[in-house]
Amino acid sequence: MSGLPSEPAERHRAVAGRFAELTRGATDWDAPAPVDGWAARDVVRHLVEWFPAFLAGGAGIRLAPGPTVDEDPAGAWASHADQVQGILDDPATDERTFSNPHTGDHPLARAIDQFYVSDVFMHTWDLARSTGQDDTLDAETCEQMFQGMQPIDEILRSSGQYGPRVPVPDDAPAQDRLLGFIGRDPAWRP
């Protein structure tokens, strides 16, 4: 992948599709993940559990329950991602607003892209590394995210959503710099 699509629906399709491939290729859902205390299935659990409440609270949209992550992580992801894609593909989404006291008001598609698709993109590395699959992320997207997050480092760290920064060389690839920034050791192995 060289550069992800710029439109939220197409970007989600690409990022969620890559994550789906990893869920289908996983053979050990109990393998340790790069997030301390997590196993591979917890990477999927995180994504399918935090976003529905965020979406319901900010846009009044409720996702239907799918398979549980404990019983079928790949199925849970497929159900979840298909529903999010349906929202992004719906022309009515262009008229909707996402409103949250912490983030303010945003067009719904932009909020999904900014807060959720970016999270899926970063956690793609976690799942790939945990399950021994190709963990290469789009370099252009890594660079854009790294550059965009640097100015709000303190805000991001204080949110509790990111671990302490892991030092990487200044000339490291964009993926390693992004991973280090969000608190991952690019050399981590299960």
Each residue of 89-131: pLDDT tens digit? Answer: 999 998 999 998 888 899 999 999 999 999 999 999 999 999 9
What is d(CA 85, CA 95) in angstroms, rounded to the nearest whole number? 16
What 32-36 contacts at long range (C-beta under 8 Å, 24+ apart), as own/partner pairs, is: 32/130, 32/190, 33/126, 33/127, 33/129, 33/130, 33/190, 34/125, 34/126, 34/129, 34/130, 34/184, 34/185, 34/188, 35/126, 35/163, 36/163
Neighbours of 172 (CB within 10 A): 14
What CATH architecture applies to the domain 8-138? Up-down Bundle (1.20)
Domain boundaries, the chain: 8-138
pLDDT band of residue 154 (cuts 50, 70, 90) is confident
- Given a cut of 60, whether residue 153 has pLDDT beyond it is yes
pLDDT value at 1 more than 70: no
Tens of pLDDT, residue by residue over 48-80, are: 999 999 999 999 999 999 999 999 999 999 999
Q: How confident is the model at residue 2 (pLDDT cuts 50, 70, 90)?
A: low
Reported as a pLDDT band with limits 50, 70 and 90, residue 150 is confident
User: What is the largest distance, in Å, between two alpha-carbon atoms of the chain?
Assistant: 45
**pLDDT of 162 over the 70 cut:** yes
**Verdict on whether the full-model pTM lies above 0.85:** yes
